[in-house]
Amino acid sequence: MSYIDWIVLIVTLALIVVYGLIKSRTSKNLDGYFLSNREMPWYIVLFSIMGTQASAITFLSAPGQAYTDGMRFVQYYFGLPLAMIVLCVTFVPIFHKKKLYTAYEFLEKRFDLKTRTLTSFLFLLQRGLSTGISIYAPAIILSSLLGWNIYWTNIVMGGVLIIYTVTGGARSVAYTQQLQLAIIFASMFIAGYLVVKYLPEGIGLFDALKVGGAMGKTNVVTTGFKGDGGFDWKDRYNLLSGIIGGFFLALSYFGTDQSQVGRYLTAKSIRESRVGLLMNGLVKVPMQFLILLLGVLVFAFYQFNSAPLFFNKTQVDKVMHSEHAGTLNEIQETYEKADEEKKNLVRSFAANGNFSLSETEKQQLTNINRQRDSLRTSFKKLVEQPGIQGDSNDANYIFLRFVMDYLPRGLVGLLIAVIFIASWGSIAAALNSLSSSTIVDIHKKFINRNMSDKDDYRLSRIYTFIWGVFCIIVAQFAYNIGNSLIEAVNILGSLFYGVILGVFLLAFYFRFVKGNAVFWSAILGEILVVGFFLLNENQIINLSFLWLNAIGALAVVGFAVLIQLLFARKLS
Amino acid sequence: MQEQNDKPPVFKTWGAWYWLVLAFLVLQIVLFIYFTKYFS
């Protein structure tokens, strides 16, 4: 990185920290620290919800996902607007009227202490671990691309935000998320504009999309049905899994994960919470669509220009310094020829001024891209060889590699800053929620019930700091998890979310079901979800992790109703 | 006081907001299907 990039990066990050500290003035009690005195307007709630959900991986992974697999990932969000409606009808009014600090408090009021403690424990376990992985995932990408030390990258990624999160609590988190999103969207918009600008003369956005479309990258809606008419349960992103699986995931995440519930509990009224959530339902899908569109534009750009064999240079260097260097050279040579052929073919289409490619032309381009893909696969196998055992998935490196290689000085620094501040937004909300659940659901229940406002405030800040340190420690050990870090975060969430959602659905919609039935059904449901996960891992069944949310929620509801009906007398 | 705070902006009822969100989702899916077919 150039000096200008370093200056832009440091100034942007410093701006966020200073802004967070300026906005940190709040009353020194739980209401002030965790809920900003319940005074936030809907648009701050909206930015806070969006900033919490959108991590660095959203902006790194989604363009790469579109580049490799097309735009169908957007279907993952189709269930979200439906979940926002259910939240506004049921969850929000109850949470507000009961003046809760955490979602799990409601479960004690409705069921009993053990159900509340179980769900808050599952939340702390899941959120604590996944936040650690969320620090490591972008840190390892930046560390690989820029040659930074992973230890210090983890500390900056997960540590600097602790300054304003500990000082200002939910208020600082919400206001910095607003500024962070403004910087992120402006930078992504400039990057998108430049990708189109860098296309050969006479080639515009529309032509770029036609090139992407000819290669199957504009596949926004897919049905998930196989050639034989059967539904592919293993297929992650299609209309059905997006609407049903995505609905359960979004309902669990926004309705039962304190990192999100804590955001809309800061609203000054039910009305402000509802408008914030509904606006999120309106803007989330178009936002994801545009981020994925950026990936298709980068794909089109690399059709007109030379694309690297593998986007993660560190892995290429590893293979180059191994016994497989000879094989790599052979692959590289054949790849460069195929890549040149592809470039010439696409440019000849451009010279004709017609991107409505005939079937023959499409077939020609498909064949060359298949050859390139097959060579990439051969290289990935080398990366996985014993002695190298590197990361064979370079999807997360595609966008940043483009940024590093082609974007002007200054903008590179700004986009690196985007990765940091996107991470900070979600991590800050996670730390705030981990601290609120620890103090409200655990400390004040089991350790000290009679604390003054001053003690509450002091301890809340200490717990925020402790969780921050814990998540950085998890990040320092995350390399043991393996290559697929983003998948690890998603799967970790899916293992717990469905069960927690089931407990909340019982609380809201099944008045006759009591605490004991819910508690035991939650344990049975968790065993069932883990069972399905293990069966899938051992390839006994084929099931995408997205379905685990629906299975968990429905199993808990089913078990609890059954247990309540069968053992009603014993349970009472 | 709480009821006063809960009045929806723009529309008379929250139901109208929910229908708006739902209709916008359906519209997006229809446009995405068209987008997929047009550029494929």
Q: Hey, are the CB atoms on A216 and B40 less than 8 Å from each other?
A: yes
Q: Which residues of B touch A222 (CB under 8 A)?
A: 36
Nearest CA in chain A to B30: A221
Task: Please name which of A3, A90, A57 lies closest in space to residue A184, comparing C-alpha atoms.
Answer: A57
B4: closest CA of chain A, how far (Å): 9
pLDDT tens per residue, range A463-515: 999 999 999 998 888 765 554 566 677 777 888 889 999 999 999 999 899 88
A361: closest CA of chain B, how far (Å): 13
Element (H, E) at A378: helix A359-383
Distance from the first to the final alpha carbon of chain A: 67
> A354: pLDDT confidence band, cut at 50, 70 and 90?
low
A157: closest CA of chain B, how far (Å): 35
Q: What is the mean pLDDT of residues A318-347?
A: 86
Distances (CA, A) of A489 to A373, A382, A484, A497: 27, 26, 9, 12
Element (H, E) at A308: none
Residue A316 scores a pLDDT above 50: yes
- Interface predicted TM-score of the whole assembly (ipTM), two decimals: 0.92
Residue B2 scores a pLDDT above 50: no
Q: Which of B9, B24, B36 sits opposite A282 (nearest CB)?
A: B24
| Chain B residues touching chain A at CB-CB below 8 Å | 2, 5-9, 14, 17-18, 20-22, 24-25, 28-29, 32-33, 35-36, 38-40
Give the per-residue pLDDT at B1. 41
> A138: pLDDT confidence band, cut at 50, 70 and 90?
confident
Residue B13 scores a pLDDT above 90: yes
Residue A387 scores a pLDDT above 80: no
Give the per-residue pLDDT at A522. 93
Residue A225 bridge partners (DSSP): A231
A467: closest CA of chain B, how far (Å): 35
Percent of chain A with pLDDT over 70: 96
Give the per-residue pLDDT at A449. 81
Q: What is the mean pLDDT of residues A224-234?
A: 75
Q: What is the mean pLDDT of residues A177-204?
A: 89
DSSP three-state, residue A407: coil
Q: Which residues of A touch B36 (CB under 8 A)?
A: 218-222
Q: Hey, are the CB atoms on A285 and B39 less than 8 Å from each other?
A: no
Do the beta carbons of residue A135 and residue A473 sit within 8 Å?
no
Percent of chain A with pLDDT over 90: 33
Residue A267 bridge partners (DSSP): A40
Q: What is the mean pLDDT of residues A185-193?
A: 90
DSSP three-state, residue A205: helix
Residue A182 scores a pLDDT above 60: yes
Do the beta carbons of residue A429 and residue A254 sit within 8 Å?
no
Mutate to test the interface with B, among A85, A210, A215, A280 (most CBs of B within 10 A): A85
Q: Rank A10-19, A274-283, A559-568 by mean pLDDT and report only the highest.
A: A274-283
Do the beta carbons of residue A427 and residue A103 sit within 8 Å?
no
Give the per-residue pLDDT at A363. 82
A1: closest CA of chain B, how far (Å): 37
d(CA A6, CA A300): 29
d(CA A32, CA A38): 8
Element (H, E) at A230: none
State phi, psi for A231 to the nearest 5 degrees: -85, 135
Q: In this structure, what token pair is assigned to residue B40?
A: 């494929």
d(CA A516, CA A112): 8
pLDDT tens per residue, range A17-65: 888 888 878 777 888 888 888 889 999 999 999 999 888 877 888 888 8
Give the per-residue pLDDT at A569. 66
Q: Which residues of B touch A244 (CB under 8 A)?
A: none
In the predicted model, what is the mean pLDDT of chain A? 87
Q: Which residues of B touch A278 (CB under 8 A)?
A: 17-18, 21
Q: Hey, are the CB atoms on B17 and A278 less than 8 Å from each other?
A: yes
Higher pLDDT, residue A116 or B6: A116
DSSP three-state, residue A40: strand
Residue A371 scores a pLDDT above 80: yes
